[in-house]
Amino acid sequence: MSVAPDTAQGAGYDAGHDAGQPAGQSVLTQEPQAAGAPAPTNEAPITPAATTTPAAAATLVAPLAQNDLPALLESLLFVSAQPALLSKLAQALEVDEADVEAALEELAVNHDANRRGLRVQRKRDRVQLITAPAAAPYVERYLGLDLSSKLSTAALEALAVVAYRQPLTRTEIEAVRGVNCDGVLRTLMARELVEPVGRLEQAGRPYLYGTTFQFLQYFGLESLDALPPLPEGQVTGKILEQISEEAK
C-alpha cells in the first residue's frame, strides 16, 4: 500500500475542506439526485437502428426505361386477381397512361408473334391476361371443365345485338329482334356474358346492357375491336356462332 507524503499528513486537514474531511482525500461534489431517477452513467447513448419506411422505400425504385414496361406490365397483370384498370397500372409504375397503352400494345404483339400461351385481353379501360384460344380445349381438360354447352339461336341473336350495339336497353334489344327478350337476357346474364353497365337517363331509368370479359373469353376475342364487321350491316347470331367455332 502506498503511503501519502509526510507533508500531507502533517497538515492535518486540507485548506478549504469541511471539518472532518481527512487530509489528502479528494471531495466530489454532485447535484442531488431525484428519487427514482436512473443512476448516472458514462456510457454513450444508444441510437436506434435506422429503418426504411414504405414511403422511403418507394424512392429507392430506379426510374423505368420504356423498354422495361412490357415485362413489368406482364408481371402486374399476372398477379392481378381481376381485370386491372389502366390508371392503377400507371400509378403503380409511376408512368403516364399513354406509356401503359404503348407498352400493352407491344406486349400484345410479342405474345402473338412469338406464339405465346397467353394473350392480352382488354375491355375499355380494363385489361387482363388470358390463355390463348388455341389452348382452350387443353385447359378445359386439365381443369376438368365442361364448357361445350352451346347457346341457343335466340340467345346468340340477342347477344349479337348487345355485342355490336352496346350499350342498349332491353326494349332496344327487343326492337331489333322483334320478340320478347326477358328469358334470353336472364340466360345471358346467368352465363356472365352480359351485364348491366349503366342506366338510361329517362323515365323509369331502364338498365343499359353490355358484354363482359367472360364474353370475350367465350368467343376467344382479345377485345371488342376484334369483332368482325357485320355482313350487310345485319346483326344476327350466326356471326357469333361462326366466331365461336373458329375459336375452338
Instruction: Spell out the domain ranges in the chain.
Output: 64-131, 153-247
What is the pLDDT at residue 45? 54
63/2 Cα distance (integer angstroms): 73
Angle subtended by helix axes 153-165 and 237-247, to nearest 10 = 100
Q: Given this model, what pLDDT does residue 113 score?
A: 85
According to DSSP, the residues that pair with 210 across neighbouring strands are 195
- Asked if 99 and 66 count as a contact pair (C-beta separation under 8 A), the reply is yes
CATH hierarchy code of domain 153-247: 1.10.10.10
**Full pLDDT tens readout for the chain, 248 residues:** 444 444 444 444 344 444 444 444 444 444 555 555 555 555 555 555 445 455 544 444 566 777 889 999 999 999 998 899 999 999 999 999 999 999 999 999 998 888 899 999 998 899 999 988 888 888 888 887 665 567 888 899 999 999 999 999 999 999 988 899 998 999 999 889 999 999 988 888 899 999 999 899 888 888 898 888 877 767 677 777 777 666 55
Structure letter (DSSP) for residue 228: P
Q: Does 64-131 match 153-247 in CATH topology? A: yes
CB distance 104 to 148 below 8 Å: no
Residue 228's pLDDT is: 86
Q: Let me know: does 243 contact 221? Beta carbons within 8 Å.
A: yes
Q: Please check whether the domain covering 64-131 is classified as CATH 1.10.10.350.
A: no
Kindly report the pTM of this predicted structure: 0.58
Would you state the pLDDT for residue 244?
66
Q: How far is CA 84 from CA 61, 75, 202, in A?
A: 22, 12, 32
The total number of residues shown for the chain amounts to 248
Question: Which cell numbers hold the place of 236?
Answer: 344476327
DSSP state letter for 42: -
CA distance 245 to 99: 36
